A and B are shown apart, each in its own frame.
Chain A
């Protein structure tokens, strides 16, 4: 198993990500190197920590400048990575965060492709069948912004052709897609036809592979309509594992299993002001639970070799410290124990 992790660089300068709740209530989530991480030296440290922790690549969250102008500061982490002396210790790819604020509309597609190209051509690019990988955060938004399924096919074909002009064998385009859920919010395999239709659609739009960013749950909706939010990590991990089954059983595209390193978005929530923005949170994660989840993925990959993108899997996340998905070492809480659990599981899976 080659395990990667999403890298979200909201931490390059002090801004809105550092909510008062994050700093006051969840101070233990501060990375071991401090909240700020915006130098090449710091990236070199993170690369060493990640590589020593069993990770094989980073998928850097990358934002298209929807409104023109300079790219967000968030994107600069990739250049810091590429400038690192030890960049070769990890591969990398882009996770194109094509959500609100960073949509890529049809008239911008060629410009976006031009921006992707230097990353796709990098020596360190993560590859499937020799093709560099690129991941899109939202397949639905990809299609919506490009106009249609047909146009999405055309646009992805254009990207592949541009890559070929640069001497690459093409591009391996992976879309993030979520699982089917029951009305109470749990992931379920019951509606087979819905799963099949969903997976067929992913194929129809021209993707080469499927994964997820994370499969967190909105709410636990009880029979009487009331909602609960506190959700055992074991159940959250189980939701992910059921999702792997769904995409493998009902889909035809290669799948890169999406693992969860946690979800607890309370630092970004304001229950009194925006109760509708709440989501289930899982503060009970422990290193052994994460070990079992990663190890389960290693076993799953072995059992489903033919349907997996190489032997890749991806965990949410290295440093989504605000949303609660982080395996990077922190000053408190589990400190470096989640990362060492990943390492042990990857090593055990690769024995």
Chain B
């Protein structure tokens, strides 16, 4: 198993990510190096920690400029590329094409031009057939912002061709797909999305996607007997993810990279006065549970080689400390979650 982790760089400068709740109620989430991490030296330390922790690549959350303004969150990937030890990991972009990072049709060629230095970089994560990997956060907005299915396919083909011009064998475009949800927040086993989106010849392939994964599959709400519940055992959250691995992948489907959940507890960013902003949270995760979950991903890859995207898997997240997806060492856990990840990875060598 080659396990990577999403890297979200909201921590380059003190900004809105440091909510009062995060600082006051959840100070245990502070990274061991402190809240700020915006130097090359700091990135070198993170690369060492991650590589020593069994991770093989970072997928950096990357934002297309909005109204000409380039997001400073994109600097993380450049800091990584300036690291002396960058060779200890590979990397790819997770193009965060959601609100604040949409890529419309007229900007596609520009976006591709911006992707290219990363796709051609020597440290780029590649599939077993040598194609650099690029992830898109939202399949729906990829489709809607580019126009329609045909235009989306054309755009992705353009990217492929541009890569070939640079001497690459192409590109592996991976879309993050999630499960449908019913009115209770459950994952229905029967739903058109399973049959229309993910099979070969289905919606995702028609868009031009080569493979699928997920960012995370957290649950918004759990309704039982009309009662809304938010606290949600991590064990069930992990099981949801493992169920999605099987539901998205399958015979005659696009290759799949299992999305592993490192946690979800978005309370620091939720406004208690706005209940609609709430989501289910799992405060009970333990290193042992993470170990089992990562191990299950290794086992899944071993048993589903024909369905998998090489032997890749990805965990949400290295540093989504606000949303509660955290495997980097923090002051509260002092590296116990990362050690659990390493232990599981070591049992499934790449």
Binding site for B on A (CB under 8 A): 21, 24-28, 222-223, 229-232, 264, 266, 281, 283-284, 286-289, 331-335, 337
Contacts and interface: CB of A to CB of B under 8 A. Distances in A.
A264 B225 CA distance: 26
A287 B225 contact: no
Interface in B254-313: 265, 267, 281, 283-284, 286-288
B332 A337 contact: no
A332 B337 CA distance: 13
Given A27-B336, A230-B232, A332-B333, A287 B25 contact: yes
Range for the number of chain B residues in contact with chain A: 20 to 34
A231 to B, nearest CB: 7
B246 interface: no
A26 B332 contact: no
Interface in B330-348: 331-334, 336
Interface string B232-256: 1100000000000000000000000
Contact of B284 (A230, A289, A333, A335): A230
Given A222-B225, A284-B281, A332-B334, A25 B287 contact: yes
Nearest to A334: B28
Contacts of A230: 231-233, 284
Contacts, number: 60
B336 A286 contact: no
B333 A28 contact: yes
A28 B225 contact: no
Contacts of A287: 24-25
B26 interface: yes
Contacts of A223: 225
Closest 9 CB pairs of A and B: A284-B283, A286-B25, A25-B286, A283-B284, A283-B283, A230-B233, A25-B288, A232-B231, A332-B332
B224 interface: yes
A334 B24 CA distance: 10
B210 to A, nearest CB: 39
14 contacts: A24-B287, A28-B333, A222-B225, A230-B231, A284-B281, A284-B283, A284-B284, A287-B24, A288-B24, A331-B334, A332-B331, A334-B28, A335-B28, A335-B332
B27 interface: yes
Contacts of B224: 222
A333 B332 CA distance: 4
Contacts of A231: 231
A28 B332 contact: yes
A232 B284 CA distance: 11
A6 to B, nearest CB: 24
Nearest to A289: B25
A222 B27 CA distance: 34
Interface in B16-31: 24-28
Given A222-B225, A332-B334, A334-B27, 5 more contacts: A283-B283, A332-B332, A332-B333, A334-B28, A335-B28
